[in-house]
Structure formats: structure tokens, C-alpha cells
Amino acid sequence: MGIGSIVFILLVGAASWLFGRNIMRVRRNILLGKEEVINDRPGERWAVMTRVALGQSKMVVRPIAGFLHIIVYAGFVIINIEVLEIIIDGIFGTHRVLSFLGGFYDFLIGSFEWLALGVWVACVIFLVRRNGIKLKRFVQKELDGWPKSDANLILFTEIALMSAFLLMNAADVTLQNMGADHYVKAGAYPVSGPLASLLNLPASSSTTLVLIERICWWFHIIGILAFLNYLPYSKHLHILLAFPNTWYSKLKPKTEIANMERVTGEVKSMLDPSIAPPEMAAPRLVAGHEVTDRFGAKDVFDLSWKSLMDAYSCTECGRCTSECPANLTGKLLSPRKVMMDTRDRVEEVGKVIDAKGKWEDDGKSLHTRITEEELWACTTCNACTQACPVNIDPVNIIMEMRRYLVMEESKTRPALTGMFNNVENNGAPWAFGPDKRLDWTQQ
């Protein structure tokens, strides 16, 4: 085993360990949320995941972006099948070890090349849409700074990886045609073959070509490993979380808002004295800190783990915000920002736990990031959940935060305060008693 193989094994091992560590950190952060049992109707859940996550059914609602995304998605999944060959070659020092597949291997390499070209073109178009055309949903305030840079960095990385892949193959096929040692004649090269001619690679020496091929080979595998470890810090974690997130997504009607079990129990007890009122839940121990049960959500600990998974699954595509009637009419609310703020708060809490070994109150909460004006602008129409490509539910987070404001802090809008008083005094939201409810029929 040569030095190259040893370096390769160490590199893959270190990258795999780091990736596993980062994924476990994300898992821990998600599980900071309240327990929620979601295991009903498994057959329907598998169907939803297959259709929405694997089949990209909600992406193609917008045909141009949907088509381009499917190309990038297919390229990411299918081209990385070649990583298997790269790993085998890297460990054992072989070259195109799967070439014994013959014609099928030629088909695979040819398909990879067309997909790589498609990914390259799609990423360039995505960059133009974000930075040239500047579609409204890509230039809103919540994307200023890191979120915009994150999206562009990934697109440039994809372009670089596809360029390295095609240039590697261009040098490889040229070396094959020259009969160079170690470069077995295998594969079909419908894109890199013409690229080699365009770059006049046949005029280069075999030493230069080997150097180009090896640099691109190492760049490609290191780039993939770096991309893998970048995912847990990026919005592109949805590449992995889209599948579990759609499986666990809400199957009930989107506009059906769940009742609070504790309140439901109190109402039942009032209507039927034989039913004992519910007891307050015991405090939960989360990251070495006792979290008391409360109405609604003050911080991420009060949301369910599914809501926190939603936050980590957010693609920041902005389809939710572009469909939100509140946002479209100039209100401050942006469902995308709600998800981004939730994820940022979870990360903030996670960093405190990492630094101190347990959670210590930092004087902040979800309400520090998401204002009352944003929360009360929501009409709960669920246009955002309908538009989301991975079935994220921002409305649930908004409702839980509003419940906290009303039931724990006694904060609400003046119009709602009047409605609450009328319901309490008159049994209806109007300022008329039951005895006057039919007076309008006499007019």
C-alpha cells in the first residue's frame, strides 16, 4: 500500500468521523424539543416521503426552478455513485476498478458526464437568478449576510466539483488514447472527450496530463468530503433531512390547529365534575436544566422536536414567504424568517451547551428574535405549508408562540382583547348579550 492510499484512508476516516460528530450535534439540538409521538398511518407517510422528497413533486409547481433543481438533485445522487469507485481506487491504488462492467460501465460514465454538464449549467442559472435577475424572494432582508453567501458558496462549489470531474475525465481519456501505463481504456466520454479537444490536451505531455488528472481526482474527492462536513452548518442540510421531515410531516388538514391537551382537560373537567382536572406535567430535564411545562412556546425547549427538525430542514428558498398574504400586503411577517430564526436560536442554545456542558439561561428566547408584530400578522391560512417543498410547518411555531404571549404573558392585540372579553361575558365574540342575539330579525 502506497503513501497515497494511506493518506486517502486517513482523509476519508477523519472526514467520516467529523461528519458523524456534527450530525450527532444536530440530532441533540433537535431533541431539545418536547416529545411528540408521530407514527400513525405509516403507509401514507412512506407515500408522502416518496412523492415529495424523492419525487420532488412540490418543486415542479414552479416549472423552471423545479426542472433545474431536479437536474442538480439527480446529479448529486447519481454522480456520487462514482464515489464508490473513487474510494476503492483510493484504498487499493487501482484505476477505474469497475471497468470490468464493460458496456454498462461505458453507459454509467457517459450518463455521469451528461448529468455533470446539466448540474454545471443549472448552477450557473441559479447564480444568475440570485445575483443577476435578483428574484424578490432571494433579495429579502432575512437573506442579508451569511445566508446569501451560503447559497452562493454551495453553487460555486458544485460548479467547481463538476468542472474538476469533467477535466479529470478529459485528461483520463487523453491518456487512454495515448496508451499511458495504468490508464485502462474504459468508459464513454461524450462531454469530456470534446472538452479535451477544445483545451488541446492531446498536445500536452503525458506527465502534464497525469498531473492534471491526479489534481482533479484529489480535488474532487476532497471537495466531496468537505461538502459533506459543510452540510450540518448550511441550509443544504435539507439534502439529508428532507426525507425524515416529509415522513413525519402533518397528515391532518393543514388548517387544523391542534388543541392543547391541558386546556382540553380543564374544559372537560368543568363540563363534567366527575372528570378530574389534568395535573401539571413534571419538569423535563434537558441538557442538565429543568424545563417547566408552560402554555405555548417561550423558547425552543417548548416546541416539539418536529418543529426543530422543520427549522433544520428549511431550504431558505422563500416559496413560503412569496405565497404569504401577510408578506405580500406589506406586513413584517416572513415564514422563512420564522424558520431561520428558530434554527439560529437552536444553534445558539447548542453552543451554550457545548461550551458549558449544560444549558444555562442566557436571558434570550425565541421572542428575542421573532417580534409580536410578526406573530400577529399571521392569518393561519397555511399558504406557507402548502408551498414548502419539504412540508415544513411555520404556522405551528407561530401559534405556539402566540399561545405563550396570550396565556402566559397576557399580551394580545386590542381587537382580540375585546373579542376575548365578549366571549367570556356574552358567549359570543360580539358585544351583545344572548337575549339580544335575534334583535336583527325585527329590523
pLDDT (tens digit, 9 = 90+) per residue, 328-386? 999 999 999 999 999 999 999 999 999 998 998 888 999 999 999 999 999 999 999 99
More confident residue, 430 or 151: 151
Residue linked to cell 391542534: 258
Q: How confident is the model at residue 1 (pLDDT cuts 50, 70, 90)?
A: low
Helix (H, G, I), strand (E, B) or coil at 296: coil
Q: How confident is the model at residue 94 (pLDDT cuts 50, 70, 90)?
A: confident
**What nine digits make up the cell of 219?**
480535488
Q: What percent of the chain has pLDDT over 70?
A: 100
C-alpha count within 13 angstroms, C-beta hemisphere, residue 181:
1
Annotate 387-404 with DSSP letters as a single string: H-TT---HHHHHHHHHHH
**333-353: buried (b, 16+ CB within 10 Å) or exposed (e) per residue?**
bbbbbbbbbbbebbbebbebb
Residues 262-412, CATH architecture: Orthogonal Bundle (1.10)
Query: Which is nearest to 171 in space by CA: 141, 129, 143, 199?
Result: 199
Q: What is the pLDDT of residue 342?
A: 97
154 neighbors 223 (Cβ within 8 angstroms): no
Q: What is the pLDDT of residue 46?
A: 96
Q: What is the pLDDT of residue 96?
A: 81
Amino acid letter, residue 351: K
Kindly state the average pLDDT of the residues 4-22.
Answer: 90
Report how far residue 312's alpha carbon sits from residue 234's, in angstroms, rounded to the nearest whole number. Answer: 9
Burial class (CB in 10 A: 0-12, 13-18, 19+), 285: exposed
Taking only the tens place, the pLDDT of each residue in 275-302 is 888 888 888 888 888 888 889 999 999 9
**Which of 85-89, 188-192, 402-406 has the weakest average pLDDT?**
85-89
DSSP state at residue 281: P
Contacts of 75 (CB under 8 A, 6+ apart): 115, 116, 118, 119, 122, 162
Report how far residue 380's alpha carbon sits from residue 187's, in angstroms, rounded to the nearest whole number. Answer: 55
Taking only the tens place, the pLDDT of each residue in 231-274 is 999 988 999 999 999 999 999 988 888 888 888 888 888 888 88
Q: What is the pLDDT of residue 390?
A: 95
Q: What is the pLDDT of residue 257?
A: 86
Report how far residue 109's alpha carbon sits from residue 170's, in angstroms, rounded to the nearest whole number. Answer: 12
217 neighbors 175 (Cβ within 8 angstroms): no
Report how far residue 16's alpha carbon sits from residue 22's, in angstroms, rounded to the nearest whole number. Answer: 10
What average pLDDT is seen over the chain?
90
Kindly state the average pLDDT of the residues 407-431.
Answer: 85
Measured CA to CA in angstroms, residue 156 lies from 64, 79, 318 at distances of 20, 17, 20
Report how far residue 51's alpha carbon sits from residue 374's, in angstroms, rounded to the nearest whole number. Answer: 32
Taking only the tens place, the pLDDT of each residue in 46-55 is 999 999 999 9
For residue 133, the tally of other CB atoms under 10 A from its CB is 11
187 neighbors 101 (Cβ within 8 angstroms): no
Q: How confident is the model at residue 320 (pLDDT cuts 50, 70, 90)?
A: very high
162: pLDDT strictly greater than 80: yes
Query: Pseudo-torsion of CA 196, 200, 205, 208, nearest 10°?
Result: -60
More confident residue, 387 or 260: 387
Please name every residue paired with 278 in a beta bridge, in sequence order, or none if there are none.
Answer: none
Q: How confident is the model at residue 401 (pLDDT cuts 50, 70, 90)?
A: very high
Model confidence, pTM? 0.88
Which helix (H) or strand (E) segment is 286 a member of? Answer: strand 284-286
Report how far residue 233's alpha carbon sits from residue 292's, in angstroms, rounded to the nearest whole number. Answer: 30
Measured CA to CA in angstroms, residue 195 lies from 113, 165, 208, 266 at distances of 11, 12, 16, 73
